[in-house]
């Protein structure tokens, strides 16, 4: 028996894009010999191998071809060229509920979907209790699914797909369905699959999940496979693509964030995903002209690994003389609660008199101890005049910080406890 579960060889998927419907009609009727379309490669000569028992993640920006490759592997789409070899029975979590008949009851759809995957009625009967317990929708199982809430619908669809016992599980952004308790149940099932030695291939924008669960990661960009390797290495390359810092000829050597080229016309903030509705105000005696988040590899990025050193950098230009300006950073959760922050006054740094026309570059370097998740960054330059607080410039919630973590603890931050257990005498 081959140790290869999935083999994708030179797969391409090409779509014809027409300027108007008449061009498509004329070509289909053979009324024109001139090419009336442009070709769009959703995938271009992609090669992938997944071994039995491996958990492999596929990452990439929107439009990279992630979902397309999964649909080709599962037979939902036919490739324009290339070959796919599958060794094992697949259960796929692609578009949850695809294939459900809205007029049928939930129970009828369980059998319908199971049959479509390739299981006999007897095999579905054996798994029915597990499916119903996992979905946990009670008596609604006997009601038409058109009466379900969206949450109930995805719970049942997920329960059917994941409790049918496949040899290969393929998942497309489906682990974040339902409420937090159902998500925990989904991730627990995912862990069970790994321990059982199942082959798992999944797509996710959650880099923490890729880092935590995957043995290997594959990066797609604009329909092409860029690189594959350890999740950590591939996530680093992905962050470069997100901020337009990726070079195919990159030798892998990154410059340190402290050596960002100040003479360049490029600005750090242009490489970040910014909040279009940032809350900005102040006297503008001092103005935050530029800022960046720089990870431990010197990449300007919104994503930072938990436990790694990173820097928040801002450049402040002064439009007036300012005595003892205070430079500040703060990180909030998505509800707006300040989790942590500091400033040059707290850190007992004497900033002195800054003259009109001068510029200061301030770097806050620290270790990321927050739990994996999404946060908001705020920046500020303030000071005191005649004992009163003066706001020169504040940028509240100017951008997000995504913390990538493969191990979270309780609470808002990790204590990085060192735990030892000794046998009693």
CATH number at residue 159: 3.40.50.300
Judge whether 286 lies within some domain. yes
Residue among 221, 290, 278 at smallest CA distance from 46: 221
Task: Tell me if 288 sits within 8 A of 329, measured CB to CB.
Answer: no
- The answer on 216 and 280 residing in a single domain is no
Judge whether 62 lies within some domain. yes
Around Cβ 130, how many Cβ atoms within 10 Å?
15
Residue 354 φ then ψ, to 5°: -115, 125
User: Half-sphere exposure of 32 toward its Cβ, with a 13 Å CA cutoff?
Assistant: 11
What's 315's domain CATH number?
A: 2.70.50.60
Sign of CA dihedral 312, 318, 319, 324: positive
Judge whether 249 lies within some domain. no
User: Half-sphere exposure of 47 toward its Cβ, with a 13 Å CA cutoff?
Assistant: 2
Give 126's contacts (C-beta < 8 A, 6+ positions apart): none
pLDDT of residue 187: 77
Based on C-alpha coordinates, what's the Rg of the chain? 26
Task: Tell me if 273 sits within 8 A of 370, measured CB to CB.
Answer: no
How far is residue 229's CA from residue 320's CA, in Å, rounded to a whole number? 51
Residue 309 φ then ψ, to 5°: -80, 140
pLDDT of residue 252: 45
- Residue 73 in tokens: 């592997």
How far is residue 220's CA from residue 27's CA, in Å, rounded to a whole number? 32
Judge whether 420 lies within some domain. no
- The answer on 200 and 86 residing in a single domain is yes
- The answer on 270 and 231 residing in a single domain is no
State which of 242, 270, 304 marks the end of a domain. 242
Judge whether 124 lies within some domain. yes
- Residue 220 in tokens: 């797609």
- The answer on 142 and 71 residing in a single domain is yes
- The answer on 396 and 274 residing in a single domain is yes
- The answer on 21 and 161 residing in a single domain is yes
Task: Tell me if 376 sits within 8 A of 272, measured CB to CB.
Answer: no
Q: What is the pLDDT along the chain (425 residues), one digit of tens a residue?
A: 579 999 999 999 999 888 888 777 777 777 777 777 888 999 999 999 999 999 999 999 988 999 999 999 988 899 999 999 999 888 877 766 666 888 999 999 999 888 877 788 998 999 999 999 988 899 999 999 999 987 788 888 888 878 877 889 888 876 555 666 777 777 788 788 888 889 999 898 888 888 888 999 999 999 999 999 999 999 999 988 887 778 776 544 444 333 445 545 579 999 999 999 999 999 999 999 999 999 998 999 999 999 999 999 999 999 999 999 999 999 999 889 999 999 999 999 999 999 999 999 999 999 999 999 899 999 999 999 999 999 999 999 999 999 999 888 888 999 989 998 998 76
- The answer on 220 and 113 residing in a single domain is yes
Judge whether 412 lies within some domain. no
Count of structural domains within the chain: 2
How far is residue 183's CA from residue 101's CA, in Å, rounded to a whole number? 25
pLDDT of residue 178: 61
Task: Tell me if 105 sits within 8 A of 67, measured CB to CB.
Answer: no
- Residue 363 in tokens: 């770097």
- The answer on 148 and 49 residing in a single domain is yes
DSSP for 75-103 reads TSS--SEEEEEE-S-EEEESSTTTT--TT
H or E element, residue 47: strand 37-51
In 340-382, alpha helices (H):
none
What residue numbers bound the domain in which 367 lies? 257-404
How far is residue 10's CA from residue 43's CA, in Å, rounded to a whole number? 9
Residue among 178, 187, 235 at smallest CA distance from 57: 235
- The answer on 172 and 280 residing in a single domain is no
Judge whether 184 lies within some domain. yes
How far is residue 11's CA from residue 391's CA, in Å, rounded to a whole number? 57
Specify the pTM: 0.78
Task: Tell me if 244 sits within 8 A of 300, measured CB to CB.
Answer: no
How far is residue 304's CA from residue 307's CA, in Å, rounded to a whole number? 9
Judge whether 247 lies within some domain. no
Task: Tell me if 322 sits within 8 A of 351, measured CB to CB.
Answer: no
Task: Tell me if 49 sits within 8 A of 201, measured CB to CB.
Answer: no
State which of 187, 210, 242 marks the end of a domain. 242
pLDDT of residue 166: 82
Sign of CA dihedral 129, 134, 138, 141: negative
- The answer on 378 and 264 residing in a single domain is yes
- The answer on 295 and 232 residing in a single domain is no
- The answer on 371 and 306 residing in a single domain is yes
């Amino acid at each position: 028996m081959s140790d290869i579960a999935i083999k994708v060889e030179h797969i391409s998927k090409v779509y014809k894009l027409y300027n108007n419907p008449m061009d498509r009609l004329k070509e289909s009727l053979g009324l024109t010999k001139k090419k009336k379309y442009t070709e769009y490669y959703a995938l271009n000569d992609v090669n992938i191998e997944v071994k039995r028992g491996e958990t492999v993640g596929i990452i990439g920006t929107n439009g990279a071809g992630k979902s397309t490759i999964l649909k080709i592997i599962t037979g939902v789409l036919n490739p324009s060229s290339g070959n796919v070899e599958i060794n094992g029975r697949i259960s796929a979590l692609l578009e949850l509920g695809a294939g459900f008949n809205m007029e049928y009851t939930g129970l009828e759809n369980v059998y319908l979907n199971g049959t479509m995957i390739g299981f006999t009625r007897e095999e579905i009967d054996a798994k029915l209790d597990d499916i119903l317990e996992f979905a946990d929708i009670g008596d609604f199982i006997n009601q038409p699914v058109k009466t379900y809430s969206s949450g109930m619908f995805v719970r049942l669809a997920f329960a059917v797909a994941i409790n049918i016992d496949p040899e290969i599980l393929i998942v497309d952004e489906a682990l974040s369905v339902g409420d937090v308790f159902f998500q925990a149940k989904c991730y627990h099932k995912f862990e069970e699959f790994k321990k059982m030695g199942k082959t798992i291939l999944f797509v996710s924008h959650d880099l923490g999940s890729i880092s935590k669960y995957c043995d290997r990661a594959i990066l797609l960009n604009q329909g092409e496979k860029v690189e594959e390797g350890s999740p950590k290495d591939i996530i680093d390359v992905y962050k470069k693509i997100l901020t337009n810092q990726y070079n195919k000829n990159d030798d892998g050597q990154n410059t340190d964030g402290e050596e960002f080229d100040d003479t360049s016309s490029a600005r750090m903030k242009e490489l970040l995903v910014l909040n279009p509705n940032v809350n900005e105000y102040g006297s503008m005696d001092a103005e935050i002209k530029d800022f960046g988040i720089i990870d431990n590899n010197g990449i300007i990025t919104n994503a930072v690994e938990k436990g790694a050193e990173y820097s928040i950098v801002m450049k402040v230009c002064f439009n007036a003389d300012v005595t003892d300006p205070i430079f500040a950073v703060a990180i909030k959760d998505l509800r707006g609660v300040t989790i942590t922050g500091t400033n040059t006054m707290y850190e007992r740094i004497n900033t002195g008199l800054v003259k009109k026309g001068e510029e200061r570059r301030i770097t806050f370097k620290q270790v990321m101890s927050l739990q994996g998740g999404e946060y908001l960054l705020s920046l500020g330059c303030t000071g005191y005049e005649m004992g009163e607080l003066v706001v020169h410039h504040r940028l509240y919630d100017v951008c997000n910080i995504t913390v990538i973590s493969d191990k979270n603890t309780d609470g808002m931050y990790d204590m990085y406890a060192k735990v030892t257990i000794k046998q009693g005498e």
